[in-house]
Amino acid sequence: MRQLLCLAAAALLSACAQQAPVKLYSGAEQPASQVLVVEMPNTLEVLNINGQPAPEANRMVGNNLRKLELQPGKYRINAYFENGYDVGGGLSHEIVRTRSATFTIDGQAGEVWRLEFDEPSNLKQAQEMEDNFEGVAVNTRTGERVASEPGPRYVSLLGEMFGSGTMVATQDHGIAPIGAAPQNAQMPMAVPTPSQAAAPAQTLPHDASTLATLKQIYLMLSPESRDAFLEWAAQ
């Protein structure tokens, strides 16, 4: 049994170390020379890209840089710092989540841009940047540096989906550059607000992005809320 557990752990670590970049563009997969790659530390979470929620951008685990593949073009990436710190001698931990910063990138095919910021070394330093998080987007080929702008405050995926009462869905949830129309776009899909509860409900698409969103919402629930949800789902 111990040997089996060791093998499983080794396989998991290997998988984390070999994670592929996350494809965030529409259409068929393109070679690295044809796409724009954005790298970021694992403590940086994407709130949205060009105003569009991108839960796939946060699905990578481990300590490696996250790599996002996009169509060449201009993007405004709202991202925030999030990390946990041990407190009370390791008996508990505190999560620090900052306001987001808006990183602007205008990249060409084959370029790699990296989102950088001054990583806090302890809880106090992390807390000090909760309301003034900032960083820089760096073109690793040319050395160009673009300072971030203050971004919106953190909004959960649930708020992103239902806060405005609408959500725009594309066929494969690709994110297009600013000024470019999404490829293979479908008509906008309205998600009813509470005031429209009597209207016929629309359904979310059955795909990996929807499942990832629902999983993250479930993980955000308290144990009591999870039990209540499972009881409801079993009915």
DSSP class per residue in 183-215? TTBPPPEE---GGGTTSPPP----SHHHHHHHH
Phi then psi dihedrals of residue 45, to 5 deg: -110, 140
Q: Look up tokens 């066929």; give the residue.
A: 171
Per-residue model confidence (pLDDT) at position 233 = 77
Per-residue model confidence (pLDDT) at position 187 = 43
CA 4/CA 217 separation, integer angstroms: 32
Per-residue model confidence (pLDDT) at position 62 = 61
When comparing pLDDT for 162 and 131, which is higher? Answer: 131
- Residue 47 clears pLDDT 90, i.e. is over it: yes
Give yes or no for a contact between 24 and 49, defined as CB atoms under 8 angstroms apart.
yes
- Residue 230 clears pLDDT 90, i.e. is over it: no
Give yes or no for a contact between 101 and 134, defined as CB atoms under 8 angstroms apart.
yes
pLDDT tier, 112 (very low <50, low <70, confident <90, very high otherwise): very high
Sign of the alpha-carbon torsion through 163, 166, 169, 174? negative
Average pLDDT along the chain: 78
Percent of the chain scored above 70 by pLDDT?
Answer: 65
Per-residue model confidence (pLDDT) at position 19 = 66
Phi then psi dihedrals of residue 7, to 5 deg: -65, -40
- The separation between CA 178 and the C-alpha centre of its own chain, rounded to angstroms, equals 18
> What's the DSSP call for residue 88?
T
Per-residue model confidence (pLDDT) at position 197 = 44
When comparing pLDDT for 138 and 160, which is higher? Answer: 138
- Residue 40 clears pLDDT 70, i.e. is over it: yes
* Amino acid identity at 91: L
* Amino acid identity at 79: A
CA 36/CA 24 separation, integer angstroms: 10
